[in-house]
Amino acid sequence: MAQPAQAASNQGPALQVRTDPSQNAAVGAAQPQVEARHFNFFYGAFKALDDINMVAGEHQITALIGPSGCGKSTLLRAMNRMHDRTPGAHSEGQLLLNGQDINAVEDLVELRKRVGMIFQRPNPFPMSIFDNVAYGMQLGSQRVPQREIPDRVEQALHGAALWDEVKDKIRQSGLALSGGQQQRLCIARAIAVRPEVILMDEPASALDPISTYKIEELMFALEREFTIVIVTHNLQQAARVADQTVFLTMNPETRAGFVVEAGPTGDLFRRPKDQRTQDYITGRFG
């Protein structure tokens, strides 16, 4: 059997892997912000996640990768309790935000203020660009004074690298923007309420390569202020942007998702410890 390292170097164009300093930081080096401990998740009787242990470090980008149906989106959505609307969905074990159990949080509004989310398809509201970004700040949970909102909208649009493209049409509908701009508008909307964590559920899968590139560039900038957890199908993307990568797959019999291997992205892609990780990242599986 080929050594993993060799196999990895055999595949077509080599994966471009992040090499900046935070890249090689051990898991423990960054303060853990989101952490799963023996976390199980169920849709009714179906166990979708089995004994998940993973950490997303503060101000790091953590990628969840794995084949379709392995539960990576389920895990992501559990982090701000988007499952609460799904009948029969429940969990066991711990999912922690700064050491506090997310599932014990009574005030969902407060939790979601701290944990924002970007969805697979850009979903701006059918209102102006300004109103889109201001939306979260005008909610009862935020209480941003009305006179501060214009400045904060501009800040957020700068933060999402969208300001220069929209500054002259801020009162026009957000739906008139291109797909990539819409997704950056959604990012602006999310960061405007100043969350601690931003969850991204395949944020670039509906976008063209140039828009994808812009979103990835944006993520590096956002990382300084926010903790990012991203689900992606795109291995190159995970390799390019993530500090830490968690590889999940599913049990072929029970179809429950579990973590195979997690660690610094460079290690996971260059020197995978598990044969299944090796197979997945070299494209032999999934």
Partner 1 sequence: MSADVRDLVASREEAGAVMNMGARRRAKFNDTVATVVMSAASLLLVVVLFGVIFLLLRAGLPALSWSFLTTAGSFVNTGGGIGPQIFVSMYILVLSLLFTTPLGVGAAIYMAEYAKPGRLTTLIRFSTEALASVPSVVFGVFGAIVFLTTFHLGFSVLSGALTLTLLNLPLMVRLAEDSMRTVPESYREASLALGGTRWETIRKAVVPSAIPGIVTAMVLTGGRIIGETAPLILTTGTTISPNATYSLNPLQTGETLAVHVWVLKIVGVPGLQDAQKVANGAAAVLLLIVLLVNIGAAYFTGRLQKRLSGTVGAPRAGGRKKD
Residues that bind partner 1 (CB under 8 A): 80, 82, 85, 109-110, 112-113, 116-117, 119, 121, 123-127, 135-136, 138-142, 172-176, 186, 189-190, 193
Q: Which of 9, 34, 73, 105 is nearest to 250 (CA)?
A: 73
Residue 82 three-state SS: helix
Shortest distance, position 113 Cβ to partner 1, whole Å: 4
**DSSP secondary structure letter of residue 169:** G
User: Are 175 and 124 within 8 A, CB to CB?
Assistant: yes
Closer CB to partner 1, 4 or 195, in the complex: 195
Shortest distance, position 169 Cβ to partner 1, whole Å: 9
Shortest distance, position 197 Cβ to partner 1, whole Å: 12
Closer CB to partner 1, 120 or 236, in the complex: 120
Cβ neighbors of 99 (< 8 A, separation 6 or more) are 35
Shortest distance, position 138 Cβ to partner 1, whole Å: 8
Residue 196 three-state SS: coil
Shortest distance, position 96 Cβ to partner 1, whole Å: 19
Closer CB to partner 1, 85 or 147, in the complex: 85
Rounded to the nearest 5°, which phi and psi values hold at 253?
Answer: -90, -55
CA distances from 127 to 153, 249, 270 (A): 14, 39, 46
Closer CB to partner 1, 228 or 260, in the complex: 228
Closer CB to partner 1, 168 or 253, in the complex: 168
Up-side HSE of residue 127: CA atoms within 13 Å toward CB? 9
User: Are 80 and 74 within 8 A, CB to CB?
Assistant: no
Q: Is 97 exposed, middle or buried (0-12, 13-18, 19+ CB in 10 A)?
A: buried
Closer CB to partner 1, 7 or 127, in the complex: 127
Shortest distance, position 107 Cβ to partner 1, whole Å: 10
**C-alpha to C-alpha distance for 10 and 4, rounded to whole angstroms:** 10
Read off the amino acid at residue 150.
P
Closer CB to partner 1, 153 or 259, in the complex: 153
Measure CA of the first residue to CA of the last residue in the chain; give whole Å.
20
Q: Cite the DSSP H helix spans in 118-169.
A: 129-134, 149-159, 163-166
Shortest distance, position 36 Cβ to partner 1, whole Å: 20
